[in-house]
Chains A and B, each alone.
Chain A
Amino acid sequence: MEGLMNNYYETGSIILFGIGFAILLLHNNLIKKIIGMNIMDTAVFLFFIAKGYVSGKDAPIIIGAHKGVQGYINPVPSALMLTGIVVAVSTTAFALALTVRIYEGYGSIELDEIIKMRSD
């Protein structure tokens, strides 16, 4: 418990992850599922970014004089998550496009109805 208090930031992101997961499982609506996916991704990003934070240090951009190693937070997670965000964006775009097509094809975006209408 005390460990969780230490890492309140990660704890929050994990709970967010759980929320996204629950949305993914519970909702039939594809758009909501995609939203859930996004929430999960965001949670992971938060989690990762939190790894780089050092309390009371600057963003890793050198303005004026170099403050030395102590002066800045860890830049690596930010860099990684920049990549991660773009990846998430592309996936979301793809999923949404698929949803559009599904709506054109089946006239519904409720997953259970679509499953009923399976055409083999």
Chain B
Amino acid sequence: MSIIQSFPLVIILVLLITAFMMPLIKNTKIIKGISLVSMTSVMILALINLDFVHKNGEYLYRIGHFNAPYGIEFRIGIIEAMMGLLFTFVALMIIWYSIYSIEKEIKQSKIGLYYLLVNILIGSLLGVVYSNDLFNCFVFIEVGTLASCGTIIVKDKKENIKATLKYLIMSCLGSGLVLMGIAYLYSMTGHLNINYIHAELVKCYLIYPNAVLISIVLFIIGLGVKSAMFPLHNWLPDAHSSAPSSSSAILSSLVLKAFVLLLIKILYGVFGMDILNHFSVLNIVLILGSLGMIMGSVFAIFQKNIKRVIAYSTVAQMGYIFLGIGLGTNLGVSIAIFHIIGHAVTKSALFLLAGAMIEQTGHKSLAQLKGIGREMPLTLGLFSIGALSMIGIPVLPGFISKWHLSLASIAAGDTILIVVILLSSLLNAVYYSPIVINGFFGEENLQGKVYKSKSKPLKELMPVIFLVISMIYVGIASRGIINLISLGLM
């Protein structure tokens, strides 16, 4: 029983307790320091834990003195450990970035509370990832929802409030459905622990066919609302575009992903392949996912505001993930998880860079951001790398997941999906390339722009550079990562 096994719990406790500490401190510098230090230490813990899991394989960790099913337990597999590392790393980078720029977006008096909310948010997301107990996941989801809404409304504008209310109502609907699903499962099995529910369910799912089907659908819709599955995404663009850019980065790169992971956990952990096949319910996810891939990009093309463009592209990228889940093959799911990683790194970088542009120029709309490439060459350069990954230039993660998804869909027997994937990547090119082109080239775009006049100092861009580097690394190391993931899925 090594002490390393308790690290996931320690991570969450550290994050929450430091968060509780913050209101007592008046000086915002100290608060920022605490937030950075806690996130860094947590990341190191996650790294050690990943290494441990990689060596010794997955394990169950009971919270408190009582074994499951009586107590609550964590299930730390390779995927969970990886996600822990990913979440903490991205969050650390985003916090590091926000330290320089947050004053410009938030009132001085609210900064402390902002970092508090971020810590709680990350802690709760990790809880959703780690926990092996459905009701515990539900409680974590609620904390996550509240905290993420909080990170939107810290910036005190009318639109934020409106967007947040929309988000809150939608996700309360979602969590209500999830709780209903849990109730169904409990009344059929009498368990809350995922493994035990599964054990019970495989025995009895033929007795209550409708109820099982309904509970699956309840989970898919409920979590689909929270993770912006296509027809239920309408809260996302407002929320993500109006939030402060560091929060939008967290929201679209981490928050959605945690809920998708929970969906994967529920579909494949609670119900399991044979039940899903028996109800052939995955096609819903598949169809909605491919719809999202196309429609998200199509919406993105018609947006005027750069952050809205990125937000809609998030919808499209979530479509990739749902497509992977919906394929229902081991390869498909592992690619979905790989795409979660790649997209988390890329999209956070894109949001931060867009935030930097808006912050330096004061303009949100694409029309006014023309010629930005001369004023902020480094920023737009990094942005272009991210955009290239979205468009799918080889070696970058976007291309890798596209390729594997296509292969997976061939293997799964629906070759037509390749057309969807390629079409959506083409659409990505259609709306990302104008930003870059008009940024760097064009006479009337560049005239009156002074070279590097508005560029941010390098040290403020360091975190984004790290994110971009890690993105390229994810692309280069893709084989290892995917093998690791499919190892974890076994």
Contact = CB atoms under 8 A, between A and B. Distances in A.
A17 B218 CA distance: 14
Interface in A93-119: 94-95, 98-99, 101-102, 105-106, 114, 118-119
A83 B182 CA distance: 14
Given A40-B176, A48-B183, A87-B139, A101 B168 contact: no
B186 interface: yes
A91 B142 contact: yes
Given A41-B176, A44-B179, A48-B186, A24 B159 contact: no
A90 interface: yes
Contacts of A44: 176, 179-180, 183
Contacts of B305: 120
Contacts of B192: 76, 80
B173 interface: yes
A48 B179 contact: yes
B165 A30 contact: yes
Contacts of A17: 176, 180
Contacts, number: 76
A33 B165 CA distance: 11
A94 B169 CA distance: 11
A117 B328 CA distance: 44
B164 A98 contact: yes
A84 interface: yes
Contacts of B165: 30, 95, 98-99, 102
Given A80-B135, A91-B142, A106-B158, A51 B183 contact: yes
B146 interface: yes
A37 interface: yes
Nearest to A79: B135
Contacts of A77: 186
Interface residues of B, number: 26
Give the most central of B135, B146, B169, B173: most A CB within 10 Å: B169
Interface in B163-222: 164-165, 168-169, 172-173, 176, 179-180, 182-183, 186-187, 192
A98 B139 contact: no
Given A41-B176, A48-B186, A87-B139, A24 B169 contact: yes
A77 B182 CA distance: 11
A14 to B, nearest CB: 9
Contact of A24 (B162, B173, B186): B173
Contacts of A76: 186, 192
A34 to B, nearest CB: 8
A98 B168 contact: yes
Contact of B172 (A47, A80, A91, A106): A91
Given A44-B176, A77-B186, A119-B159, 13 more contacts: A33-B169, A37-B169, A44-B179, A47-B183, A48-B182, A76-B192, A83-B135, A91-B145, A91-B168, A91-B172, A98-B164, A98-B165, A106-B158
Interface of A: 17, 21, 24, 30, 33, 37, 40-41, 44, 47-48, 51, 76-77, 80, 83-84, 87, 90-91, 94-95, 98-99, 101-102, 105-106, 114, 118-120
Q: 6 nearest interchain CB pairs?
A: A105-B158, A48-B183, A51-B187, A87-B142, A98-B165, A101-B161
14 contacts: A24-B169, A30-B165, A48-B179, A48-B186, A77-B186, A87-B139, A87-B142, A94-B168, A95-B169, A98-B164, A101-B161, A102-B161, A105-B162, A118-B159
